[in-house]
Amino acid sequence: MFQDLGLFVLLLGVLITVHELGHFLVAKACGVKVVRFSIGFGPKLLGFTKGDTEYQVAALPLGGYVKMAGDSPYEDVSPEDAQRGFLNAAPWKRALIVAAGPFFSLAFPVLIYFFVFVGAHEAISTRVGYVDPAMPAAAADIRPGDRIIAVDGDKVQTFEELRGAFVGRFERSIPITVEREGKQFIANVTPRKVVESTPVESVERGQIGIQPARKPAVVGVPPGSPAAQAGLKSFDRVLTINGVKIPDEAAFFEQVARTQGPLELTVQRSQPVEVGAVTGQVPSVTKVSVPRQQGEGFSALGVESSDLYVVAVSPGSAAEKAGIRAGDKLVSFNGEPLRSFNVLAGELSNLKEKPFQLTWRSAADGQEHTQTLTQAMRTSKDEFGQESSRLELGVRPWYPSSAELLPADTVTVHISVPEALRQSVVIVPTIIKQMVKVIGRIVTGEMSTKTLGGPVMMYQLASKSAEQGLESYLHLMAVISINLGVMNLLPIPILDGFGLLAAVWEGIRRRPISMRVREMANVVGLVLLVALMVMAFYNDVTR
């Protein structure tokens, strides 16, 4: 707890210092006297005086301030200090002083990201771990174990770069350079269009159906099939075939191809348990003997990939109301046979609230059912209590947990100083744009004010990011610094944005803003800020 508190105070302390340092340095450069430089509010804990300025750390580390001579029209100052007072400075100097704090808050993340990016890093490589059989990569004969070298002539080293290469590239043939067993060849792939939506924005991306991590061999068992009669069940994970370990689907297909007789399987399945009033699932290991069928892979066992088998149905969803249950298999969408859940997810994303026809096979009786459905809006909360809404059918296919996925191949990426600087300069404006969009959506009511957070949420974020490593902690520091800079530029009285606006206005009008207007603006600004703080604290408590 004390460590988490220390990380939280360090995070705030650094960001406050950087922001106030901007005001301080530019005020000094403009000849304005700085009386006090304070990190924190309230009683002084420690400090010292050097020259004209008192430097201090105060008890409440939720902000800071730079006290300048003559920054209040009600302040009594000596004639000497009045000449060096803030309000007596030229409007352009006041504008620079006020803007310096937000500028430092927005520039500091560039430095943070530079040190995060520069040097050697371990990243997930472009080696293919799994290929969706219904997606374009499979049609282009891309296989597990292949390495993607380039997309449309653009070289890619990491899987993140590979995903980024398909932004805006879809529904046309894309040449992909593939390496297999030391040899390179070109695979022409036509990515499918998907729309990835977040509360901030939507991105149109091409999808080819590959994953870096390797999936375990988990089966879907049709009702009444020889495999079902032999005792195999949907969602069983094959651990061995005739004594040979099966770590993933690639090994499963390989071993099945080598075996012509009966298949002696060791499988792991989840068994329901009940302890008092508590129910749950525990894994168990079972041996099953399955006669070999015609074909290869899953067909040789008379089973199917578990990809289209429903493992859970959301309560109250369109799927539950239609009668879809766990264990059912999704068969077709708008009359077209389904080969993978990713295809269905992409179609649903494009359809939004339009009705569609879905056919599924019941696990209870093996019969197929067809209904016309429409996705429904579902609101959910994340681990910090923030709400988000999205359209969904309400079915969850089987997919391995992070613990069940076999590790993806990694590569060491060396980022040079110029490239790290370039990436840093690019990412900060991107985050600024996203934050401006969020603020706009909150103001217009498109996003709930419940997404706002206060000190408690920041404490939780600091703790969680530190657990994930230094890079995650520094990323959080950069994002909050950008947030601090953007928020302070809002034209709300008491914030830097209003001070900047006032200085520009005085420069244009050639006369100062009247005392009455200043007083009214300060009252309005104070009320708004207090309301915002109360709302943030309330959200923290309710979470």
Q: Which residues form the catalytic set?
A: 20
Q: How far apart are CA 505 and CA 245, in angstroms?
A: 75
* Token representation of residue 118: 């520069």
Q: How far apart are CA 187 and CA 172, in angstroms?
A: 13
Q: Residues 227, 292: contact at Cβ < 8 Å?
A: no
Q: How far apart are CA 157 and CA 149, in angstroms?
A: 7
Q: Residues 136, 188: contact at Cβ < 8 Å?
A: no
Q: How far apart are CA 135 and CA 192, in angstroms?
A: 8
Quick one: which of 370, 344, 236, 369 has its CA closest to 298?
Answer: 236
Q: What is the 3-state secondary structure (H, E, C) of 438-475?
A: HHHHHHHCCCCHHHCCCHHHHHHHHHHHHHCCHHHHHH
* Token representation of residue 420: 């790290």
Provide φ and ψ at 58, rounded to 5°: -105, 170
Where are any strands of DSSP class E within 107-198?
A: 119-124, 130-131, 147-151, 154-155, 174-180, 183-189, 192-197
Quick one: which of 234, 402, 223, 374 has its CA closest to 308?
Answer: 234
Distances (CA, A) of 419 to 171, 175, 312, 414, 537: 31, 26, 45, 10, 41
Q: Could you write out the DSSP letters of every residue in 398-420?
A: ----TTTSBPPPEEEEEE-HHHH
Neighbours of 73 (CB within 10 A): 10
Provide φ and ψ at 399, rounded to 5°: -150, 135
Q: How far apart are CA 1 and CA 260, in angstroms?
A: 60
Q: Residues 241, 255: contact at Cβ < 8 Å?
A: yes
Q: Residues 209, 346: contact at Cβ < 8 Å?
A: no
Q: How far apart are CA 315 and CA 319, in angstroms?
A: 9
Q: How far apart are CA 266 and CA 442, in angstroms?
A: 54
Instruction: Give the position of tokens 């894309």.
Output: 174
Q: How far apart are CA 472 and CA 468, in angstroms?
A: 6
DSSP-derived letter for residue 513 is P
